[in-house]
Amino acid sequence: MESPRKAERTRRLWLLFALLGVMVLAGVLRLWGIGHNLPDLTIADEFQVVERALRCGTGDLNPHLFTWPGSLPIYATFIVYGLVALGSLLTGSVSSLHSFAQSYFLNPTPFFVLARLLAAGFGIWAVWATYRAGKRSYGGSSGLLSALILALVWIAIWSSHTALPDTFALAFLPLALIFIERWWQEGRWRWILLAGMMVGLGTAAKYNLGFLGAAMLSAPLLVPRLPWRKRFLAWILLVVGGLAGFIFACPFCILDFSQFTHDIGSTFIRVGSSRQGAFTLQHGYLLGMVLPFAMSWPLAVCGLLGLVRALWKRSRMDILLVIFIVFYILVAGGRWAPPKHILPLVGALAILGGRALADICGWIYGQFKGRGQVGRGGLVVALLLVAFFIYPLVLDSYRMEEFTLPDGRALARCWIEENIPPGSSILIDSAAPDVDCPQLLPDEETMVELIAGDKGAGRYSYFLESEDYPFGRPTYRLYLRPWVSGGPIAFITSRQVDYVVTCEFLDRGHYFDQVLLPGEDHYQGEGEYHRWLAENCVLVNAFGPSFGEASVANVYIYKVK
């Protein structure tokens, strides 16, 4: 008979191999197709991180962006660029830092790939940290299953393929939970200070992780018989740690306080103007459509089972996570939002889901073990896990086509440059460096207007000064739809344009447009605008999404009659 010590070593060895498999799976899913659609910019706001990180190389470390805030990924990306630039100088690949920065305008692909690789690294780290958080609070098997859930969650995979702040914020959630659990177990004040710092760092990546900070304030209340003096000290350390972490990663919230408060105010106005009450259709949309899409139904069920189990067992970590989840849904779920905005919620559900699944598997195995049917019990548990995880894995494999097939906007750009004469005037939803429409190159008149409007000023200033522009590509007189006087339909009927290129963004039946007025989530007349174009202009070509239904664009190219 195998000794208990040997059995424990065998169990740990199998757990180690299983964890290695989960991490390899997470890595493959997050790195496959990392350079998708480049050099075309098809991910909204991705260029914000890349170009602001590059601008840090000029000595201007102020990101001039506090609506996300995105400071942590901007600075992290800047550090990566600095290391690569230094390596390029040492190897002679570039002659100066200036020439290194200039290469971005000629070929942005390497810069976006580096930024995406950094995000993917944080995504893989989030899976590892989720394992550690689940293991510390609930045990090794629970941590492993929580990590596997997060490894297979589609929105976590998608976000890890983009240079956006969402994945960065997600990675700090389990780290904060690890430190708060250590404080509960050991009582050392440094752990609660570090827990607050993790929340602050994550919030400096994206504000929505701040909801975890609100939930963490319950941590001192979950320690029985803790004197109130120590509870107040714990709250002070949480707040101080949170502020320290946030200011460290976003120092210009102090150094550029006026811009910071302005952007914070506009963010609150935008969020508040689109909210529809305490519990409304938006919450139903979040729970009934966005969450199952982001996680897949089996993994969403795991999360729901974990939430039910937490309400039943009510351990300290259970209570903290339930507070966070409920608070997040009630407050953040009251407005239309893309699936990536719920990543912190998904991270918490993954931890609870792993615990619930481990409990179910343990109970089933125990029933068979009690009857001496260990092999049969192991087989039933394996089949149960396959039932939960096979569909998400197959679904992820299908959705990975997004990273291998060209986006409709990239295809449309190639067709336009081959078939529409250079110098033609085109009304477009937006212009580079935004991503709402094909990335056409503007002519000099358009660039001057864009620079005056503070839109892509750095990029277009370089283009105006460059002798190599337009790099062998045609240029066009571009008009931006949000800027046209009298509205786009009146502008078109005045025959000031030759063509109209527009995109219809459809996310599970809801229209999205990234070019918005303050406080808006989508154009009220988006569908009507496309119908008017179809009835009054000549459709010369259309390019649809190459995959699925998730946040992709149908591109329509019209010739004005």
Residue carrying the six token digits 């459709």: 539
What residue segments make up the domains of the chain, in order of their start?
4-33+124-403, 46-114, 408-559
The predicted-structure confidence for 322-352, as pLDDT tens digits, reads as follows: 999 998 988 876 666 678 888 999 999 999 9
Mean pLDDT of 120-146: 95
Residue 434 in this model has a pLDDT that exceeds 90: no
The predicted-structure confidence for 207-240, as pLDDT tens digits, reads as follows: 999 999 999 999 999 999 899 999 999 999 999 9
* Mean pLDDT lowest among 10-14, 171-175, 468-472: 10-14
The predicted-structure confidence for 162-202, as pLDDT tens digits, reads as follows: 999 999 999 999 999 999 999 999 999 999 999 999 999 99
Q: What's residue 527's pLDDT?
A: 65
Q: What's residue 514's pLDDT?
A: 36
- List residues bridging with 6 in a β-sheet: none
pTM as predicted: 0.89
Q: 209: closest CA among 98, 324, 366?
A: 324
Mean pLDDT of 411-418: 92
Q: 496: closest CA among 427, 418, 409?
A: 427
* Mean pLDDT lowest among 194-203, 432-441, 516-525, 536-545: 516-525
- How many Å from the N-terminal Cα to the C-terminal Cα in the chain? 87
The predicted-structure confidence for 420-431, as pLDDT tens digits, reads as follows: 999 999 999 876
Q: What's residue 550's pLDDT?
A: 41
Contact 484, 477 (CB under 8 A): no
Q: 475: closest CA among 530, 534, 432, 531?
A: 432
**What integer best gives the mean pLDDT of the chain?**
86
Contact 474, 417 (CB under 8 A): yes
Alpha helices in 274-315 (DSSP H): 281-285, 291-295, 297-313
Q: What's residue 274's pLDDT?
A: 55
